Amino acid sequence: MAGLTKASLPPRLFRDIRNRGAAVCVMLYEDGIVARETPKLLAVLAPEERARHDRMATSERRNEYLVGRLLIRTVLSVLLDVPCAQVPLLIDSRGRPHVACRAPLAYDISLSHSRGYAVLGVTKAGRIGVDIEATFDGDYALVRRFLASEELAGLLALPQVQRSAALARAWVIKEAWSKALGFGLGVPFRNLNTALRTEGCSGRVRWRIIDGSTVPTACAIASDELTPPSMPRFAIPVNLERLSGAAR
């Protein structure tokens, strides 16, 4: 089984990882195509990933999981120079994916998916977190639980029409921050005060909204050396039929 070739992915993605130390790429997919190609695409996954996929309750969840694994495995297969199926991809006890390799191949990764978008962050130094939200309804009861008091005051001071977008940005930043830390939803989101800004830092974790995305997307990096990338490098309109062909 051959991995995807470097030519199948945007070369700047790999240049950015090499030269800047980190990159984020966004992939678009259609549920119908994933469903149709599932039997072939599953061949790239490890047996335990296939079993996990099969246990998932809805077709949307199965699709996003499958696409996420393919995206991670495809990019890492190029970085590690191994076939997709041989990328040593594990998850920790909290569900955080990681690559079982030592320096200089010790890449850290983070994944997010939302309604046909899959986002992958990769870094060579420190820990990375990414989040994307294609739909965000801004439930007030939820807001009170996750916003710092300064954020809530800032939100209420905004014109009504700007609140939903500001809230979505704050949410994706907090999720990216918690993923970089590896806590998932277990972290008290109120502890991060974004001041509704699009970039900032909290301790060692630097975060920013990624410009040029059509939906709210954030990246956070816990590193003494790196800042999060400002642009997704790059939207990958992956042809899943071609991908499954390459995986055979």
Ligand X SMILES: CC(C)(COP(=O)(O)OP(=O)(O)OC[C@H]1O[C@@H](n2cnc3c(N)ncnc32)[C@H](O)[C@@H]1OP(=O)(O)O)[C@@H](O)C(=O)NCCC(=O)NCCS
Q: Give the contacts of 112 (CB within 8 A, at least 6 positions apart).
A: 118, 119, 130, 131, 132, 175, 176, 179, 217
Residue 120 forms beta bridges with which residues? 25, 111
Question: Among 63, 74, 77, 112, which residue interacts with ligand X (rule: CB under 6 A)?
Answer: 112
Please give the residues from 179 up to 238 whose contact with ligand X meets the rule CB under 6 A.
Answer: 179, 182-186
Is 12 or 183 the residue whose CB approaches ligand X more closely?
183
Which is nearer to ligand X, 19 or 135 (by Cβ)? 135
CB 216 within 8 Å of CB 209: yes
Among 10, 97, 116, 138, binds ligand X (CB under 6 A): 97
Contact call for residue 18 and ligand X (CB under 6 A)? no
- Quick count: other Cβ atoms within 10 Å of Cβ 244? 21
Among 3, 68, 216, 228, binds ligand X (CB under 6 A): 68
Q: Given 3-state DSSP classes, what are the helix, strand and coil percentages for the chain, each rounded to the nearest 5?
A: 45, 20, 35
- Is residue 169 involved in binding ligand X (CB under 6 A)? no
Give, as ranges, the residues between 131 and 160 that touch ligand X (CB under 6 A).
131
**Shortest distance, position 160 Cβ to ligand X, whole Å:** 26
> How many residues are there in the chain?
248
Under the rule (CB under 6 A), what is the footprint of ligand X? 64-65, 68, 93-97, 110-113, 131, 175, 179, 182-186
